[in-house]
């Protein structure tokens, strides 16, 4: 497996060849993020404008219901706009490593947008479901800790409740650490699905956990190694240049972690699509 320095050298070579495309992809992502933020801001201004029907919503709908509505709308926008955009960008960065023609991949995405959107949204939804379900025990114990500290007050607790508080506090910390480790174990899932979009999502999660076994520290050290570039971009380098370089480096690391499981099915899928398109013409 390549070291961080070797990955950085190879990433610099790829970035020099595709620096213009990297900047374009970064600005495309920024456009998507700004679109979501602007839409949220417009809805907020309409709500505060006191014009019908927003004045009735503010007057008759409970505040918690309004907050839940905003959260749901924001989640739908992220899943329907940001997640598919991230999936396409991930595909383009994989193409940079293999020197695919980006224009052909873009044409394939344009012709098969419903399929690619379905794959990306389903993958993100399954991963979010797994992460939330595994975090629930820590959330419950954290709520017990909150109740003991801020509601019941520690000085008013009995010995039995104080012991339960200490157990809940220790359980929360330990489980949260294990949850972070589990999230790192799932880090390859998105790339596995991007390489093989027809693969079952749960099988991809299981494969990611098996491949990341005993490699969590390697993954963390990679981000610590590249954190200096993310810090420097704030003071010296433009963000639009540094972020694509870090993304290329991360894709190279994923390729190293996957090893023989780095099996890109997109070239064959694109070739079949081109033959079908030519036959229809």
pLDDT tens for each residue of 125-156: 999 999 999 999 999 998 888 877 776 665 66
- Quick one: pLDDT at residue 173? 92
Question: How far is it, in rounded angstroms, from Cα 24 to Cα 279?
Answer: 33
Highest mean pLDDT among 129-133, 148-152, 163-167, 269-273: 129-133
- Quick one: pLDDT at residue 2? 81
Residue 38 clears pLDDT 60, i.e. is over it: yes
Residue 6 clears pLDDT 80, i.e. is over it: yes
- Quick one: pLDDT at residue 102? 80
Confidence of residue 229 (pLDDT cuts 50, 70, 90): confident
Return the domain boundaries, the chain: 4-280
- Quick one: pLDDT at residue 281? 56
- Quick one: pLDDT at residue 135? 93
- Quick one: pLDDT at residue 42? 80
- Quick one: pLDDT at residue 99? 77
The mean pLDDT of 191-212, rounded to a whole number, is: 92
The mean pLDDT of 65-79, rounded to a whole number, is: 77
- Quick one: pLDDT at residue 144? 85
Q: 130 is written with which tokens?
A: 């797994």
Residue 100 clears pLDDT 90, i.e. is over it: no
Question: 10 Å Cβ neighbour count for 81?
Answer: 16
- Quick one: pLDDT at residue 55? 66
Share of residues in the chain with pLDDT > 70 (%): 86
Confidence of residue 59 (pLDDT cuts 50, 70, 90): low
- Quick one: pLDDT at residue 50? 67
Share of residues in the chain with pLDDT > 90 (%): 35
Residue 171 clears pLDDT 60, i.e. is over it: yes
Residue 180 clears pLDDT 80, i.e. is over it: yes
Residue 97 clears pLDDT 90, i.e. is over it: no
């Amino acid at each position: 497996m390549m070291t961080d320095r070797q990955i950085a050298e190879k990433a610099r070579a790829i970035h020099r060849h595709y620096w213009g495309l990297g900047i374009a992809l970064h600005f495309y992502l920024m456009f998507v993020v700004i679109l979501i933020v602007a839409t949220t801001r417009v809805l907020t201004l309409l709500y505060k404008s006191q014009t019908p029907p927003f004045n009735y919503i503010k007057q008759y709908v409970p505040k918690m219901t309004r907050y839940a509505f905003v959260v749901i709308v924001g989640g739908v926008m992220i899943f329907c706009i940001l997640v598919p955009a991230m999936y396409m960008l991930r595909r383009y960065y994989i193409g940079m490593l293999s020197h695919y023609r980006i224009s052909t991949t873009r044409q394939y995405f344009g012709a098969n947008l419903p399929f690619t959107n379905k794959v990306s949204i389903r993958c993100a939804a399954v991963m979010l479901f797994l992460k939330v379900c595994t975090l629930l025990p820590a959330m419950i114990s954290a709520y017990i800790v909150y109740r003991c500290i801020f509601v019941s007050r520690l000085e008013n607790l009995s010995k039995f409740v104080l012991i339960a508080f200490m157990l809940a506090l220790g359980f929360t910390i330990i489980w949260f650490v294990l949850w972070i480790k589990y999230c790192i174990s799932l880090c390859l899932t998105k790339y596995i699905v991007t390489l093989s979009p027809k693969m079952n999502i749960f099988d991809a999660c299981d494969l990611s956990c098996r491949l990341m076994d005993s490699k969590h520290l390697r993954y963390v050290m990679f981000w610590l190694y590249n954190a200096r570039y993310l810090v420097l971009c704030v003071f010296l380098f433009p963000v639009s240049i540094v972020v694509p370089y870090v993304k290329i480096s991360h894709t190279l690391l994923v390729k190293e972690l996957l090893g023989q499981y780095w099996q890109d099915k997109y070239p064959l899928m694109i070739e079949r699509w081109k033959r079908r398109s030519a036959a229809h013409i």
